[in-house]
Amino acid sequence: MSSITLTVNRQRHTVDVDPTTPLLYVLSDDLGLRGPKFGCGLGQCGACTVLSGGRAIRSCVTPASAVAGTEITTLEGLGTVDRPHPIQKAFVQEEAAQCGFCLSGVILTAKAFLDQNPKANDAEVRQAMSTVLCRCFTHVRMLRAIKRYRQEV
């Protein structure tokens, strides 16, 4: 066990965990966060995505110790029900979900990419989303929501 200090959604937390523990386990179990989810544990689907210093990372395959000292943002750190982030608002407006399990991957991957590449075209957005899954196949609405966010920001 070792003590790791993480900054998550602008709050500092010190946790005592095995240093190999993936970040996702710390976020879900030690910090009780609901946004990032275990989808595959292999970094293949996106459900566990969080932002680390503005970059989208897969928290299921990132040891917590590797991101100590960075600013970590989960889906709930982006905005709230009452004060959603513009990309969350765009997704609500487009009703762009079914079961909702994939949303950390879809929203945070799109946000991280568009924040770096605000002028990206549709093909480039798709390329950025190429390792993100939604098994309800809400693709049409999600891409519309991403486009709405791109236009508004």
What is the four-CA torsion angle of 24, 100, 8, 66, rounded to 10 degrees? 30
Q: Tell me: does residue 124 bind other proteins (CB under 8 A).
A: no
Task: Pick the binder of other proteins from 4, 6, 8, 39 (CB under 8 A).
Answer: 39
Helix (H, G, I), strand (E, B) or coil at 93: helix
Quick one: which of 4, 6, 8, 47 contacts other proteins (CB under 8 A)? 47
Q: Which of 79, 115, 120, 147 binds other proteins (CB under 8 A)?
A: 79
The 3 state secondary structure assigned to 25-87 is HHHHHHCCCCCCCCCCCCCCCCCCEEEECCEEEECCCCEHHHHCCCEEECHHHHCCCCCCCHH
**Residue 11 touches other proteins, criterion: CB under 8 A:** no
**Residue pair 75/103 in contact by the 8 Å Cβ criterion:** yes
Considering the rule CB under 8 A, would residue 44 count as an interface residue with other proteins?
A: yes
Least separation, in Å, of the C-beta of 151 and other proteins? Answer: 18
Q: Is 104 in the site for other proteins (CB under 8 A)?
A: yes
In the complex, the residues that contact other proteins under the rule CB under 8 A are 1, 17-18, 20-22, 25, 28-29, 32-42, 44-45, 47, 74-81, 84, 88, 91-92, 95, 97-104, 106-107, 126-143
